């Protein structure tokens, strides 16, 4: 009896520990059910980071504690050693996956109503299964199964609850619709695989700050975030509302535009971001095209080869198209770089010339200028406001630390295109010493992720910069691409500590991307 109670308490503790780990992953991944299988696969990978944070060479262990305990579970089940089965499962629940923290270093668990609902529903189901198992010949097996099956339970729970959560959030959408009807702002909707946040902020700068102009806050670009942005920020008298719209798959942007219909739609780029979810660039392009369906005016970055094919199709459907770019000289709005001077052309006429703006991407600026033109802002006013355009936090921000080390912060949502620009920025700095790139690599690129990280490391090597790898998510392809000794750190904090102790005035460091700690 005492043994049974002890085993029961041990399994309950193991189940709770697993729940705390995986609930944090689910919450961080916006309750997307398939995230459970993706991250279980990542944490099951045999390659692990070295515990010696300053290790210069790649190390890996072919066998982890998870693998050992999985094998032990199979053996003990076959041998019908139920007490050992329970003990093995307790150890797994308490200590695996190694490195996936219960509390979290960068993203702590927030006990919101939605999270609590998922936890209660899945735990009730687990308890019912355990109770049913108590009447079988091997009563511990189903209890053991619940410990190992926590990611599966959360996957199923999130799927079952998704329609309920969608209906529940409808009242916030209805409130947002009512406010839009009352305030009646001109709506500009911006999407793109990358560049949408920068373009949104640049446009707000060009339109004169907060005087009747409201932009959705950073990353408030889905159904819940956009409705919240409208309900909390859209005051009476708002003339222009700039809405950033993101998507994880076809149909999402179309739904947003049904209740937040844009007058002007802006598309900044089509690229391999969220490719892990959407599988192909064709699917991504189809999803982004949805933003044009209700707009009467469309602004396109035709430096992008896929977007360069859109104008004919859109104009044939009766829409007005304004093209923008920094490379394609057929664009109606261009921002050209001539020896450090940025020249702005609108319909072939030069309207401004300014010194280059560090950390600002010319193509994104061109898209924002084109949108301002379509909103009726005089080109002379636009020209006078160019100096107001600022970089976006964590996107190629350049600062000089007290130590004299030049720091480029590009830690937010790095992708193949932006990483190339950030590397070029690092190499363009007038440094006299070392150039260092600190990165966990690029993510959410599906089957392309391995190759893209090899390519990234090859570029770093070609530039002659040092490579510091954080975590193990992309450690292997980064090492392969770099082809020489790299430094490895388990966390970004460790890498920052090394940078502070190792670099001196005249050196430069690029922090390229940053992953929350639910990534290995």
Residue-wise pLDDT for 181-204, tens only, equals 999 999 999 999 888 888 999 999
pLDDT grade for 304, boundaries at 50, 70 and 90: very high
Q: How many domains does the chain have?
A: 3
**433 and 475 inside one domain:** yes
170 pLDDT more than 70: yes
The stretch 196-218 carries a mean pLDDT of: 85
pLDDT of amino acid 53: 35
Q: Return the DSSP state at 290.
A: G
Which of the residue ranges 90-99, 149-158, 366-375 would you say has the lowest mean pLDDT? Answer: 90-99
Q: Is residue 182 part of a domain?
A: yes
Hey, how many other C-beta atoms are within 10 angstroms of the C-beta on 362? 21
59 pLDDT more than 50: no
209 pLDDT more than 70: no
pLDDT of amino acid 410: 82
pLDDT of amino acid 55: 38
**272 and 322 inside one domain:** yes
pLDDT of amino acid 71: 85
The stretch 296-300 carries a mean pLDDT of: 96
**140 and 203 inside one domain:** no
Half-sphere exposure of residue 499, counting CA atoms within 13 Å on the CB side?
A: 30
Q: Is residue 236 part of a domain?
A: yes
pLDDT tens column, 362-375? 899 999 999 999 99
Helices 2-28 and 140-148: angle between axes, nearest 10 degrees: 20
**Tokens encoding 194:** 């990358």
The stretch 249-257 carries a mean pLDDT of: 90
pLDDT grade for 45, boundaries at 50, 70 and 90: low
The residue with greater pLDDT, 450 or 390, is 450
**120 and 196 inside one domain:** no
* Residue % of the chain over a pLDDT of 90: 50
- Domain boundary among the residues 355, 388, 421 is at 388
* CATH number, residue 430: 3.90.190.20
pLDDT of amino acid 279: 76
Q: Return the DSSP state at 387.
A: G
Q: Is residue 198 part of a domain?
A: yes
pLDDT tens column, 472-482? 888 899 999 99
**489 and 342 inside one domain:** no
pLDDT of amino acid 144: 92
pLDDT of amino acid 52: 37
DSSP string of 162-190?
HHHHHHHTHHHHHHHHHHHHHH--EEEEE
Q: Are 240 and 214 in contact (CB under 8 A)?
A: yes
Residue 34 belongs to domain spanning: 2-166
**Tokens encoding 426:** 């690092």
Q: Is residue 150 part of a domain?
A: yes
The stretch 386-392 carries a mean pLDDT of: 80
- Domain boundary among the residues 121, 148, 166 is at 166
Q: What is the mean pLDDT of the chain?
A: 87
Per residue in 279-296, is it b (16+ CB within 10 Å) or e — as a string?
Answer: eeeeebbebbbbbbebbe
**106 and 174 inside one domain:** no
The stretch 380-384 carries a mean pLDDT of: 89
**Tokens encoding 220:** 């408030």
Which of the residue ranges 59-73, 89-103, 294-308 would you say has the lowest mean pLDDT? Answer: 59-73
Q: Is residue 517 part of a domain?
A: no
pLDDT of amino acid 393: 64
Q: Are 374 and 322 in contact (CB under 8 A)?
A: yes
**38 and 13 inside one domain:** yes
353 pLDDT more than 90: no
The stretch 120-134 carries a mean pLDDT of: 93
**Tokens encoding 283:** 């699917």
Q: Is residue 520 part of a domain?
A: no
* CATH number, residue 257: 3.40.1190.10
The residue with greater pLDDT, 157 or 211, is 157
The residue behind tokens 């702590």 is: 108
pLDDT grade for 30, boundaries at 50, 70 and 90: confident
**404 and 456 inside one domain:** yes
**348 and 302 inside one domain:** yes
pTM: 0.81
**66 and 158 inside one domain:** yes
- Domain boundary among the residues 137, 166, 195 is at 166
The stretch 99-127 carries a mean pLDDT of: 91
Q: Is residue 518 part of a domain?
A: no
Q: Is residue 141 part of a domain?
A: yes
C-alpha span between 273 and 263 (Å, rounded): 26
Helices 113-133 and 150-168: angle between axes, nearest 10 degrees: 140
**289 and 228 inside one domain:** yes
Q: Are 314 and 307 in contact (CB under 8 A)?
A: no
Q: Are 171 and 392 in contact (CB under 8 A)?
A: no
8 pLDDT more than 80: yes
**185 and 94 inside one domain:** no
The stretch 12-18 carries a mean pLDDT of: 94
């Amino acid at each position: 009896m005492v043994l049974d109670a002890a085993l029961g308490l041990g399994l309950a503790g193991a189940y709770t520990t697993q729940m705390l780990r995986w609930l944090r992953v689910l919450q961080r991944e916006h309750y997307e059910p398939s995230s459970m299988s993706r991250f279980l696969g990542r944490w099951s990978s045999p390659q692990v980071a070295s515990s010696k944070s300053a290790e210069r060479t790649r190390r890996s262990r072919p066998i982890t504690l998870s693998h050992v305990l999985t094998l032990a579970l199979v053996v003990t089940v076959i041998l019908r050693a139920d007490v050992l089965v329970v003990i093995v499962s307790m150890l797994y629940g308490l200590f695996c996956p190694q490195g996936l923290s219960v509390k979290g270093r960068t993203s702590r668990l927030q006990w919101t109503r939605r999270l609590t609902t998922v936890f209660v529903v899945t735990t009730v189901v687990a308890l019912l299964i355990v109770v049913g198992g108590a009447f079988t010949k091997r009563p511990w097996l189903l209890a053991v199964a619940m410990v190992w099956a926590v990611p599966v339970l959360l996957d199923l729970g999130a799927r079952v609850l998704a329609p309920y959560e969608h209906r529940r959030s409808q009242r916030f959408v209805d409130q947002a619709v009512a406010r839009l009807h009352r305030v009646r702002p001109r709506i500009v909707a911006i999407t793109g695989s990358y560049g949408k946040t920068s373009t949104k902020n640049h446009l707000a700068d060009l339109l004169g700050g907060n005087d009747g102009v409201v932009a959705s806050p950073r990353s408030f670009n889905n159904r819940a975030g956009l409705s919240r942005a409208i309900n909390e920020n859209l005051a009476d008298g708002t003339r222009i509302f700039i809405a950033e719209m993101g998507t994880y798959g076809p149909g999402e942007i179309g739904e947003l535009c049904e209740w937040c219909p844009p007058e002007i739609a802006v598309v900044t780029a089509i690229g391999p971001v969220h490719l892990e979810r959407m599988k192909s660039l064709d699917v991504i392009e189809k999803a982004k095209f949805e933003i044009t369906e209700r707009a009467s005016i469309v602004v396109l970055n035709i430096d992008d080869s896929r977007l360069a094919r859109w104008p004919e199709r859109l104009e044939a459907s009766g829409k007005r198209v304004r093209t923008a770019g920094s490379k394609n000289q057929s664009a109606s709005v261009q921002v050209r770089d001539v020896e450090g001077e940025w020249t702005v052309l609108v319909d072939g006429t030069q309207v401004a010339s300014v010194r280059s703006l560090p950390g600002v991407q010319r193509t994104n600026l061109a898209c924002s200028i084109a949108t301002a033109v379509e909103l009726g802002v005089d080109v002379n006013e636009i020209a006078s406001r160019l100096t107001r355009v600022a970089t976006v936090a964590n996107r190629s921000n350049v600062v000089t630390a007290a130590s004299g080390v030049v720091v480029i912060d590009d830690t937010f949502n790095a992708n193949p295109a932006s990483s190339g620009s950030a590397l070029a920025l690092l190499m363009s700095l007038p440094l006299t010493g070392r150039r260092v790139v600190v990165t966990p690599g690029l993510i959410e690129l599906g089957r392309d992720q391995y190759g893209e990280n090899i390519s990234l490391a090859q570029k770093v090597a070609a530039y002659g910069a040092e490579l510091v790898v954080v975590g193990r998510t992309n450690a292997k392809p980064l090492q392969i691409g770099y082809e020489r000794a790299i430094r490895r750190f388990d966390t970004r904090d460790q890498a920052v500590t090394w940078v502070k102790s190792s670099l001196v005035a005249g050196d430069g460091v690029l922090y390229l991307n940053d992953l929350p700690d639910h990534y290995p």
